Chains A and B, each alone.
Chain A
Amino acid sequence: MTISLIMFLVFVAVTLGITYWSAGRSQGSAAFFTANRSITGWQNGLAVAGDYMSAASFLGIAGMIAFYGYDGFMYSVGFLVAYLTVLLLVAEPLRNAGKYTMADVLAYRLEPRPVRAMAALSTLTVSTFYMIAQMVGAGALVSLLLPGVPFYVAVIGVGAIMIVYVVFGGMLATTWVQIIKAVLLMSGTFLLSVFVLAHFGFDLGRFFRAVTHVSSHNHGVEVVRNFLQPGLKYGPPYGALDLISLGVALLLGTAGLPHILVRFYTVPDARTARVSVVWAMVIIGLFYIMTTFLGYGAATIVGQDYIKVHGGTNMSAPLLAQVLGGEIFFAFISAVAFATILAVVAGLTISASTSFAHDFYTNVIHHGRETNPGEEVRVARITAFVVGAVSMGIAIYLGQGVNVAFLVGLAFAVAASANLPAILFSIYWRRFNTSGALWGMGAGLVSSIVLVCLSPSVMGAKALFPLENPALVSVPIGFLASWIGTLLGKPHGRKDQFDEMHVRAHTGLGAEKAGGH
């Protein structure tokens, strides 16, 4: 265990060094929130990938495939294809027309204050749910690796380091933490995949034949199943609908995740935003294809029976590393998992605090004027601290028993139902207006939270709503409410405001330039 601790401390030391280096370069809003829009395409691509491949991906999907086979792989597919929505519909117009946050695009031609207030609310909701999931994962991982360390100490430790990154280093430090983490995660996953293939003599046929005969014990009785067969998790009667609903949440939610969207403001122009999405798609795609080897490797080589009594589903990937590569490899993979969590939490914190400081504090309370120079950044730093402390508190309160997948699923569902309709309509629909945005975001936010509360994830067998993921219902509600709200509301502002938005989004005329302060 001490080796993994040392590796983890090395990662923390290096990243704190980066934070110290970037602290001097993070003065002023553009520098703090967007790293002066100076990040290059491949750097941002790696950072997007780093922001996206969370503990839920590395630990969660590996575990899901190890226990449910094919159905777990459905997550991997959705997580990648979702980037086509980002690439084709959102990234470039957002970069061209926005400044620091997703709400900048909405506030463009809608009434700024109510729309920003609502967008800040949904951003904080999505980020907090996502963050609590990461913190719970981190706490559980630490207490498994270092049995002497209690859950709450682990959560506070992770939270404290993350706050330091964001408060002192801003977007520049956060970006580099993501890049390092993405490289570590990819190398760890690649090595693990090679080990798995080596175990089967680099014979894919042998590997897949083993996957079709996975054995486990249920109450002492041996069960042999084909793990390439769909339906082991999402079976009848609602399995098919649940798979489709999950698909909707992933496909449309990714393009509404605030911590992914803010990344497109860190690059100099729309072309670089596009290049960075493509880089991210290459990395993310390779990673998720390799989850085949991680998950099925854990199922065939380690076995469910062993994983169940050694930390449960989430420990599938680290245990696979232990069995195949011994203690040092186990330590390395565990350190990678820590790094993953730490980096994602930092990315979430900066997007939440940017949204609060820029949308709510400066634009809603102070009508878009900064009363004192540097105030926006000061507020963001304070917010980062508060958001961090609050989610640490909630994570400790919920304890490690809470279902992490449901928190992440909720974050995606809220992003898909509340944020995406507003983003798409404000970019592409001339008639869209303030009341449409408020109705859509409000209805999407409320319906997804309510449906999750009524779902089997929360209510168990007595659930009033049969699907685990609410997106199949809440996304149409979000779009429909935006449409109805628009028809009932009044247009706002100048007649040519859509023209302005339209021209800016597609030509980059008047887009924010790199450099700045």
Chain B
Amino acid sequence: MPEETPQDLTPAPGTRPDPRGGSGPTPLHPEPGTVDWKAVAQMPEFQALVRAKFRFIVPATLFFILYYFALPVLVGYFPELMSRPVLGPVNGAYLFALSQFFMAWILAALYVKVSGKFDRQAREIRQKVLGAKGEHR
């Protein structure tokens, strides 16, 4: 599909379809092809942003996957242990299941807290890239 992946990185606006497909006037900002993506990808600010994001997302993802699958594993393979009443009549299986809800909410809240910083970093990068091109947001 050569016409959809031109080698020329700066075609006149509108000469190729939006790479995400679609039609009509493309509300892209900036115009496709006016950003040197490779250069942005190598900006220290961008690399810092990606590193910061992954530093949160990777451990958080590993944690919730482990915490979640601990439930079916414990409940499935150690039903007697999990059936012991812990809090009045309520057993460990139910309490652990209930704790998953709070785990999910707390993790989401933590993510929202750190992502404010990611938003600021992303905005600075956008301003730097677009500003260098003399464009205004």
Contacts and interface: CB of A to CB of B under 8 A. Distances in A.
B126 A508 contact: yes
B38 A243 contact: no
A174 B71 CA distance: 36
Nearest to A512: B27
B128 to A, nearest CB: 10
A97 B32 CA distance: 13
B104 A285 contact: yes
A103 to B, nearest CB: 8
Contacts of A496: 37-38, 41
Contacts, number: 223
B17 A240 contact: no
Given A230-B82, A494-B5, A513-B29, A28 B37 contact: no
Contacts of B105: 281-282, 285
Given A229-B79, A509-B40, A208 B88 contact: yes
A99 B18 contact: yes
Interface string A501-517: 01110111110110111
Contacts of B108: 83-84, 87, 277-278, 281
Residue among B9, B53, B64 having the largest count of chain A Cβ atoms under 10 Å: B64
Contacts of A247: 68-69, 71-72
Contacts of B88: 205, 208-209
A77 B71 contact: yes
B18 to A, nearest CB: 7
A317 to B, nearest CB: 20
Contacts of A230: 75-76, 79, 82-83, 93
Contacts of B90: 208, 228
Residue among B71, B76, B126 having the largest count of chain A Cβ atoms under 10 Å: B76
Contact of B22 (A100, A373, A506, A508): A100
B106 to A, nearest CB: 11
Interface in B29-68: 29-30, 32, 35, 37-38, 40-41, 46, 49-50, 53, 57, 60-61, 64-65, 68
Contacts of B73: 240, 244
A99 B94 contact: no
Given A84-B64, A503-B41, A509 B83 contact: no
A419 interface: no
How many of chain B's residues touch chain A, expressed as a range? Answer: 35 or more
Interface string B69-100: 10111011101001100001111011001101
Interface of B: 1, 3-5, 7, 9, 17-24, 27-30, 32, 35, 37-38, 40-41, 46, 49-50, 53, 57, 60-61, 64-65, 68-69, 71-73, 75-77, 79, 82-83, 88-91, 93-94, 97-98, 100-101, 103-105, 107-109, 111-112, 115, 119, 122, 125-126, 129-130
Interface of A: 28-30, 70, 73-74, 76-78, 80-81, 83-85, 87-89, 97-100, 103-105, 107-108, 111-113, 116, 205, 208-209, 211-212, 226, 228-231, 234, 239-241, 243-244, 246-247, 251, 271, 274-275, 277-278, 281-282, 285, 288-289, 358-359, 362-363, 367-370, 373, 375-376, 492-497, 499-500, 502-504, 506-510, 512-513, 515-517
23 contacts: A29-B22, A70-B93, A73-B94, A76-B97, A80-B100, A81-B64, A81-B104, A89-B61, A104-B21, A209-B88, A212-B89, A229-B93, A230-B75, A230-B76, A231-B75, A244-B73, A277-B108, A278-B108, A289-B98, A362-B21, A368-B21, A494-B7, A503-B35
